[in-house]
């Protein structure tokens, strides 16, 4: 597997962003998290959130993550496998809006996922977008978030950005 191993129990994000997310979630009352892209982040969020919903597009990664969740007896993570692009992007609950505290976009179709996330994040909630150094690739998403407070965190050759919903 590439980059983050499920056993790391940590998101493969810039370290500064992880520290900030930890502090933010600690200040939320029963935080609810959504993530596009499962793995070590799912285990990490499970320790910090009342509820975690995660969707994964890669069957092998899904199975590894599910195995870890079961072996560790973690029950506050709802993990789904969706390989269809439309289903993956639109897997987030929808109506009525869940109003998540934090949404992580770290999987496929990030521009489309950010568009959908706009309606599912509570005011003051955090949208975390990984690999924002790819400004051309994620230009659409970054444009949608242009009026949101933004903080960038450098990783080893990549950047993670946190956007706060007005």
pLDDT recorded at residue 94: 73
pLDDT recorded at residue 2: 45
pLDDT recorded at residue 159: 98
Q: Write the pLDDT tens digit of every residue in 42-53.
A: 999 999 999 999
For residue 101, report the phi and psi dihedrals to the nearest 5 degrees. Answer: -80, -35
Q: What residues in the chain have per-residue pLDDT under 70?
A: 1-7, 95-96, 98
Q: What is the pTM of this model?
A: 0.94
Q: Where are the domains of the chain?
A: 7-164
pLDDT recorded at residue 57: 97
Fold for domain 7-164?
Answer: Rossmann fold (3.40.50)
């Amino acid at each position: 597997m590439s980059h983050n191993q499920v056993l790391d129990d940590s998101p493969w994000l810039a370290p500064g962003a992880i520290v900030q997310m930890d502090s933010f979630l600690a200040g939320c009352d029963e935080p609810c998290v959504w993530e596009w892209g499962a793995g070590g982040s799912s285990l990490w969020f499970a320790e910090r959130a009342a509820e975690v919903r995660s969707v994964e597009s890669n069957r092998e990664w899904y199975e590894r993550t599910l195995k870890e969740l079961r072996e560790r007896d973690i029950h506050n993570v709802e993990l789904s496998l969706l390989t269809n692009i439309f289903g993956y992007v639109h897997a987030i609950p929808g109506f009525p809006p869940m109003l998540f505290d934090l949404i992580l976009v770290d999987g496929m179709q990030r521009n489309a996922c950010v568009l959908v996330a706009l309606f599912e994040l509570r005011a003051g909630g955090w949208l975390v977008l990984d690999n924002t150094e790819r400004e051309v690739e994620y230009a659409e998403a970054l444009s949608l978030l242009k009026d949101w407070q933004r903080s960038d965190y450098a990783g080893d050759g990549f950047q993670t950005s946190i956007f706060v919903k007005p």
